[in-house]
Amino acid sequence: MNRTIKEATVKRFHYDSHEQLKTRLNDFMAAYHFDRRLKTLNGLTLYEYICKIWTSESDRFIINPTHQIPGLNT
């Protein structure tokens, strides 16, 4: 995962400030968790997989993962 993040951020773009890098990292992580479909999870995004496990094994979770959906209130 570290190599994936590094290749998608510091190896691909030049940043004039630390703030630009932080913004890019946040955008990348949101896209990775909510948009990227992974073969190891049978084509689900990480978020979809977590929600699927939550419905079958909710006792493993402290909070409801559906509250983490990015949107108007984030």
What's the pTM? 0.61
pLDDT of residue 43: 94
Among candidate residues 73, 23, 29, the one with its CA nearest the CA of residue 47: 29
Residue in 38, 60, 59 with CA at minimum distance from that of residue 49:
38
Residue 63 has a pLDDT of: 74
Q: What is the mean pLDDT of each run of 10 residues along the chain (74 residues)?
A: 86 90 89 88 90 85 71 57
For residue 41, give the 3-state DSSP assignment. Answer: helix
